[in-house]
Structure 1
């Protein structure tokens, strides 16, 4: 049994990772890293939030194409929901429903 314990200890020691101390960290380098990377991360996150179109418009593309193809007679549920979202979220002047459908069809 001792040989199994010795083998197990040897195996665990061979695959374990060494613990490293953070005492040798250069505070100036850490400050420069934070000064450069933090604003970059914040600007990137805000940009992705503001330039990413709402998913409601992506899902309404099929209904927008049907609306355009029927000359405005067919109003699908997803296009109607996107139209209501557009009217409640964005300020005037609003696009007409046909213009909104064309924008959804070409953009998404």
Structure 2
């Protein structure tokens, strides 16, 4: 089964699906985390990091954080998932590819 995830560079606002994906894992619990601080945090991080979101817009999201100053280490965050192994594998593989392309050690 092919899996297609979008790679969305952060350009001043979160992807439209950010909140939707963030609520999916909690749907049966009657609780949803507040993603409002995420918008402010991304705006602050964008000064020092290139941020890319990997998402299928429904079941998973992952952010890759690549220091603009370079270095050896890239980071990830804002990872929410329905637990689908294949989606997670594809997202982390794309993150890995982007880290290699930017010269980060893997």
User: Which category describes the TM-score, using the shorter chain as reference length?
Assistant: under 0.3
Larger Rg: 1
Q: Which has the higher contact order (CA 8 A, sep 6+)?
A: 2
TM-score with structure 2 setting the length? 0.24
More helix by share: 1
Name whichever structure is richer in strand by fraction.
2
TM-score, structure 1 normalization = 0.24
